[in-house]
Amino acid sequence: MGRAEVGTPKYIANQMKAKGLQRLRWYCQVCEKQCRDENGFRCHTQSESHVRQMLIVGENPQKKIKEFSDQFRRDFVSLLKSSHGEKKINVNKFYQEYISDRNHVHMNSTRWVSLTEFAKFLSESGVCKIEADPDREGSLMIAYVDNSPEAMKRRDAARKRDKDESEDFEYEQKLLQQQVKKAKKQSADSDESKSSGEEPKELQREGAAPIKLALNFAKKPIAKPIARPKPIKLR
């Protein structure tokens, strides 16, 4: 039975069925062909084209595995850089994003046995950094490390800014503590001066004798008026 012609209903139906993520075990990396079920994959492995490709790979299998490994690493890191940058993401979640492309290189055709082993390889190479996922036990978080000169300048500027802000905060805290100590010392000196000072005394008199006031109402002599000089007449 031949393939359906482009534009026919059967061709469109086959394309719709092929959309989305398929089973990894039914994908032939050598032929770059995705099968929809086990029967289709078995038929493909018995086809003449597949046998011919496997004979070519069998001549130097290590070379082919290295090519697949290098391509997988490049595509994985490139997608991580372009889609998430230096933000952290769960490595399993990101791998689902990576394999959503049907034309990608599968991990089962590379030299890495598991995704965890591949993530550790990227961390040891300095390409990415990994850490334990606090939300998922036994899972890892991965983040791309940008080592370009521009990124290094941005990180240096950010570290310098954080250092300046930290120094300013420490200086403000030190100044505030000095002001608090000064205010406490002034308050203590004021309390000490009040406690050591003499309290105002009330007016007290000895004995019970009444108080006498001496008032002098003597008449003062009336001052004589000053005589005015007589006017001099001129002839």
Spell out a b/e string for 186-222, using b for 16 or more CB atoms within 10 Å of the CB, else e. eeeeeeeeeeeeeeeeeeeeeeeeeeeeeeeeeeeee
Pair (141, 82) in one structural domain: yes
Q: CA 198 to CA 193: how far, in whole Å?
A: 10
In a domain, 138, yes or no: yes
- Helix or strand run (H / E) with residue 40: helix 38-45
The DSSP result for 145-185, as a single string, is ---SHHHHHHHHHHHHHHHHHHHHHHHHHHHHHHHHHHHHH
Token code pair at residue 2: 């031949």
Q: pLDDT tier at 8 (50, 70, 90 boundaries)?
A: confident
Q: Which residue has the higher pLDDT, 58 or 24?
A: 58
Q: Burial letters for 156-167: b for 16+ Cβ neighbours within 10 Å, e otherwise?
A: eeeeeeeeeeee
> Looking at the structure, do residues 32 and 72 belong to the same domain, yes or no?
no
pLDDT tens-place string over residues 117-171 = 999 999 888 888 888 888 877 788 899 887 766 656 666 667 777 777 777 788 8
Asked if residue 35 is part of any domain, the answer here is yes
The count of domains in the chain is 2
Give pLDDT, residue 135.
Answer: 81
Element (H, E) at 27: strand 27-28
Q: What mean pLDDT comes out for the span 166-189?
A: 82
Which of 53, 6, 52 shows the shortest CA–CA distance to 29? 53
Instruction: Note the pLDDT of residue 200.
Output: 53
Contact criterion met (CB below 8 Å) for 140 and 91: yes
For residues 67 and 141, membership in a common domain is answered with yes
pLDDT for the residue numbered 30: 81
Under the phi-then-psi rule, with left for phi > 0, alpha for psi from -120 to 50, and beta for the rest, what region is 32? left
Average pLDDT on 33-51 reads 84
In the listed set 147, 166, 193, which residue is the last one of a domain according to the structure? 147
Residues 90 and 137 in one domain: yes
Together in a domain, 101 and 43: no
pLDDT at residue 188 is higher than 80: no
Q: Which of 31, 131, 221, 121 is nearest to 40 (CA)?
A: 31
pLDDT at 36: 76
The residue type of 230 is K
Are residues 69 and 128 both part of a single domain? yes
pLDDT at 197 over 60: no
* Domain membership of residue 80 as a residue range: 60-147
Whether pLDDT at 235 is above 60 = no
Are 143 and 64 members of one domain? yes
pLDDT digits (tens, 9 = 90+) for 63-81: 888 988 998 999 999 999 8
**138 Cα distance to chain centroid:** 23
pTM: 0.54
Tokens of 232: 């001099």
Higher pLDDT, 184 or 208: 184
Please report which confidence band the pLDDT of residue 203 belongs to, taking 50, 70 and 90 as the band edges: low
pLDDT value, residue 105: 83
Instruction: Indicate the pairing of strand 140-144 with strand 33-34.
Output: unpaired
Q: Which residue has the higher pLDDT, 23 or 107?
A: 107
Residue from 62, 162, 72 nearest 115 by CA: 72
Whether residue 137 sits in one domain with residue 108: yes
Mean pLDDT across the chain, nearest whole number? 77
